[in-house]
Amino acid sequence: MESASVPLPHGAGGHAAEHVHHGPPEAHQSSRIDRQVLGILLFIISEVMLFGSFFASYFFLRVVVNPESWPPHPFELPVAVAGMNTAILVSSSFTIHYALEGIRKGNKQAMKLGLVLTWLLGLTFLFVQINEYVHLGFSDRTEAFGTIFYSLTGLHGAHVFIGLCLLSAAVIRAFRGHFEKEPEKHLGVEVPGIYWHFVDIMWIIVFFTVYIL
Amino acid sequence: MHYNEAAVFKWVLIFAVAGGSAIGLALLAGSLVGALYGLVLAVIGCVYGYRWTRNWWREARNRPGGPDYKP
């Protein structure tokens, strides 16, 4: 088969036979951070700004409406159920960390177990959230409070759903044996793991702001 | 500092402890106290983030890839 070679710079001709490069040149990158990890961190920074705008709207409404009690009468939020859901989501961060620690040590069974548990906990969280929406008794069209409540929790729920999609791909790839001990060979778990932790941290803030304050 | 999942997990623990203490305080002492405590935590976090970022840029020249880096 004929191979295409890239013209080599002056002085590199002596090793031309050993260094025939195929495809476009390697992009510049830092030796301290993978491109994929850098990408997800930058994405998370943009997500923090998105959530920040929603929190700003929430506090703006709360200060402008300034009711005697919050949530305003007759709204009631199921704090205990949401608290239980918080515990479920925080637990899922521990299980994804367990999965990553497993693959870092070359233990693929631990990784699979951790990933499946995380996926199940995430699904439970989402199911409880949807169940809560069904039984709340108000919709997103019910006054400004309903709108901002569904916007904030719904935005987070959408992130959980995306996280579950990423975890689904990671679970499938884990069972197909795609991941190895070396850091660059399990980025498919590392990146969803970082995203999942972000979703978890964001829920702690959403829960504290919307349900507790 | 390594930029990986383990580093982010550390922040999950920090947020869980900070959030848990704020939730506990808000439930015990009322929303206003909880909100003020949360605000104090947020300000501390911002100051820490600002100082960390400033230090990160200050030392950028000496890190691998920087112009003053000596292996």
Q: Is the pLDDT of residue A49 over 50?
A: yes
CA–CA min distance A127, chain B (Å): 22
Chain B residues touching A93 at Cβ < 8 A: 9, 12
Q: Which residues of A touch B23 (CB under 8 A)?
A: 207-208, 212
Nearest chain A residue to B66, by CA: A30
Q: Taking CB atoms and an 8 Å limit, are B5 and A96 in contact across chains?
A: yes
Interfacial residues of B (vs A; Cβ cutoff 8 Å): 3-6, 8-9, 11-12, 15-16, 19, 22-23, 26-27, 31, 34-35, 38, 63-65
pLDDT at A7: 47
Give B-chain residues touching A190 at CB under 8 angstroms.
Answer: 4-5
What local confidence, expressed as pLDDT, does residue A27 receive?
65
Is the Cβ–Cβ distance between A128 and A83 less than 8 Å? no
How many Å apart are CA A44 and CA A24, to the nearest integer?
29
Of the candidates A55, A92, A114, A116, the one whose C-alpha atom is nearest the C-alpha of residue A200 is A92
For B29-59, the pLDDT digits (tens) are 998 899 999 999 999 999 999 998 898 888 8
Convert chain A into a string of H (helix), E (strand) and C (coil). CCCCCCCCCCCCHHHCCCCCCCCCCCCCCCCCCCHHHHHHHHHHHHHHHHHHHHHHHHHHHHHHHCCCCCCCCCCCCCHHHHHHHHHHHHHHHHHHHHHHHHHHCCCHHHHHHHHHHHHHHHHHHHHHHHHHHHHCCCCCCCHHHHHHHHHHHHHHHHHHHHHHHHHHHHHHHHHCCCCCCCHHHCHHHHHHHHHHHHHHHHHHHHHHHHHHC
| Every domain of chain B and the residues it spans | 31-59
Interface size, chain A vs chain B, as Cβ–Cβ contacts under 8 Å: 68
Q: How many residues does chain A have?
A: 213
Of B4, B31, B35, the CB nearest to A190: B4
Q: Is B3 in Cβ contact with A41 (below 8 Å)? A: yes
For residue range A129-185, list pLDDT tens digits in order: 999 999 988 888 888 889 999 999 999 999 999 999 999 999 999 999 999 888 888
Distance from CA of B27 to the nearest CA of A (A): 7
Summary mean pLDDT of chain B: 88
State the pLDDT at residue A18: 54
- Chain B residues whose CB is inside 8 A of the A197 CB are 5, 8-9, 11-12
pLDDT band at A32 (very low <50, low <70, confident <90, very high): low
Q: Enter the pTM of the model.
A: 0.83
Q: Which listed CATH number (1.20.120.80, 3.40.50.300, 3.30.565.10, 3.40.50.1220) goes with A34-212?
A: 1.20.120.80
Give residue A12's pLDDT: 45
Nearest CA in chain A to B12: A201
ipTM: 0.83
Of A37, A70, A201, the CB nearest to B11: A201
* Tens digits of residue pLDDT in A71-95: 888 888 999 999 999 999 999 999 9
